[in-house]
A and B are shown apart, each in its own frame.
Chain A
Amino acid sequence: MTELIQHVIDALSLGSLYALLALGIALIFGIMNLINFAYGELIMIGAFTLYLGRDLPWPLQLALCVVVVIIASLLMDRLAFRPFRGATGPVLLVTSFALSFALQSLATVIFGSRAKGIALPSWFAESITIGSVSFSSLNLITVVLVVVLLGGLATFLRRTTVGVQMRAAAENFTTARLVGVKADRVIAVAFVLSGFSAAVAAILIVAQRGTVTPTVGVSPVLIAFVATIIGGLGSLYGAAFGGLLLGALTVLLQVVLPEGLAPYREVFLYAGVIVVLLVRPQGLVVVKALFERV
């Protein structure tokens, strides 16, 4: 029973992180039809900022991370994606690939490819024991943080003028412009939100790993990509749900697979992804929700 609870906590925690990652991708995709693979490098930039700021008091360190990543995200749009607005799918994909690749390599040039250690304040990853169940405070922080952020995002999209404009633009960008919605503004807001999620993800990932390398963002962005698509492209709820599901499945496979098959965990996971795509190519969530595509 204790084990079950611990597994559930792991699943929730990992699922929350994955949901956050998926949102970072889905926010941009919903508005611009662009899968931003360089989102992984936003996480990397956040991680390296945490590294560079490691001697600062932690509130400053975290705040710096958020600010730098958001600025990087806006610059990414302005310099790298704006010239490609209106390009076709494959071109946009290769562009974001190339950008991701360029940033990774640049980081290698600047920092070298060896892992650098970062230690966040100890309470970030402390062991907490309640009854017979023990887990890391990081799990708690992750779940709470992501839930709060999701709630904040939902409120923002429902209640603010810009939020409604974003939802309109996500459904039909052209028509939104026809009623006066400023294209540049909603895109910028999307990149700010995406950047913010990348910064938070960077903090959580670094807290867990303790190190940073130029390729730290590669695996998260792939997870985000997978989660967004199985959740349903264009739906924010879908992306969050896809992330949660992916996290839960990962933990489930870890627990359930017999010894011999354990190394094949990813095989099963991705096979599952293929199955989902076949059974429901439009994604799992078909709720009429925020950013729902008709």
Chain B
Amino acid sequence: MLELDHVTIGYGKTTAVEGLSLQVAEGEAVSLVGPNGAGKTTTLSAVVGLLRPRSGSIRFEGREIAGEAPERLVRSGLALVPEGRQIFSTLTVGENLRLPLAARPKAEAGPALERELERFPALAERLDDPAGGLSGGQQQQLAIARALLCRPRLLLLDEPSLGLAPLLVDAVFETLAGLKAEGVTVLLVEQNAVRAVEFADRSYVINAGRAVLSGAREEMREKEKLAASYLGSAVAMADAAEEEAEAGAGSGGGAGA
């Protein structure tokens, strides 16, 4: 459904992401993990149209989308839950939720809203309250609900567990699991690598702008590989790359190291 092919993204003179390739198939849950500053948010920003890649292609459902405007991509079925939630604190919860509904036919909007309010009862209770007054966990729910109301075929999430207490992190991943069960295609970016890798069908590890590791859930469970690629140890990476090359086709459509 989503395909990045050797994408390079930069800001001014710096290059944040270099030659990244990844795929997300329909119905899959894929996670992109890596340390701070690795280029995860940059990658999502490019997919969603906020940044234009310098080279490489981004294809969504077969169509090249690199550089298209975000508000048009939303209509095409891409929705992002941004880093830090980014809810509109001066709007009420209800106004936040109704924003994406403006683009949808009236008949759909009502039931769609109902569904999200059922999923997140905390929001239903606070429809007329200013969104700025919500707790962190509730804001995260609002951000997810808002994105879901865009009726996305692919849902992108940028560090949804950031800044949340462990219990709330659990709640977030429960929600994600529920979405996966409903068949929503998900691309999850997370610093919390362990949980993200557990949740996703497949994962990619990115470090310093380059993909360094990828694989299905079982493979990624080998914690050493993960830790090593996080710390960026050249030797460990070389080892990991070697193993990857040996495993060859078995890694299921992974990216180059």
Contact = CB atoms under 8 A, between A and B. Distances in A.
Query: Do A and B have CB atoms closer than 8 angstroms in the complex?
Result: yes
A294 to B, nearest CB: 6
A179 B89 contact: no
Interface in B90-141: 90-91, 95-96, 98-100, 102-103, 130, 132
B74 A179 contact: yes
A177 interface: yes
Contacts of A175: 82, 86, 88
A178 interface: yes
B150 interface: yes
B70 A292 contact: no
Contacts of B70: 174, 177-178
B25 interface: no
Nearest to B49: A177
Residue of A171, A183, A289, A292 with most partner-chain B CB within 10 A:
A171
A117 to B, nearest CB: 46
Contacts of B130: 288
B71 interface: yes
B59 interface: no
B48 interface: yes
Contacts of A168: 88, 91, 95-96, 99
Contacts of B103: 180
Given A179-B100, A183-B69, A167 B90 contact: yes
Interface in A114-168: 161, 164-165, 167-168
Nearest to A293: B90
B144 interface: no
A177 B50 CA distance: 9
Nearest to A294: B89
Contacts of B150: 179-180
A165 B70 CA distance: 15
Given A288-B130, A294-B132, A180 B88 contact: no
A165 B90 contact: no
A265 interface: no
Interface of B: 48, 50, 69-71, 74-75, 79-80, 82, 86, 88-91, 95-96, 98-100, 102-103, 130, 132, 146-147, 150
30 contacts: A165-B99, A167-B90, A167-B91, A167-B95, A168-B96, A172-B86, A172-B88, A174-B86, A175-B88, A177-B50, A177-B69, A177-B70, A178-B50, A178-B70, A178-B80, A178-B86, A179-B99, A179-B100, A180-B74, A180-B75, A180-B99, A180-B100, A182-B71, A183-B71, A288-B90, A288-B132, A289-B90, A291-B90, A292-B90, A294-B90
A-B residue pairs, 3 tightest by C-beta: A177-B70, A175-B86, A180-B74
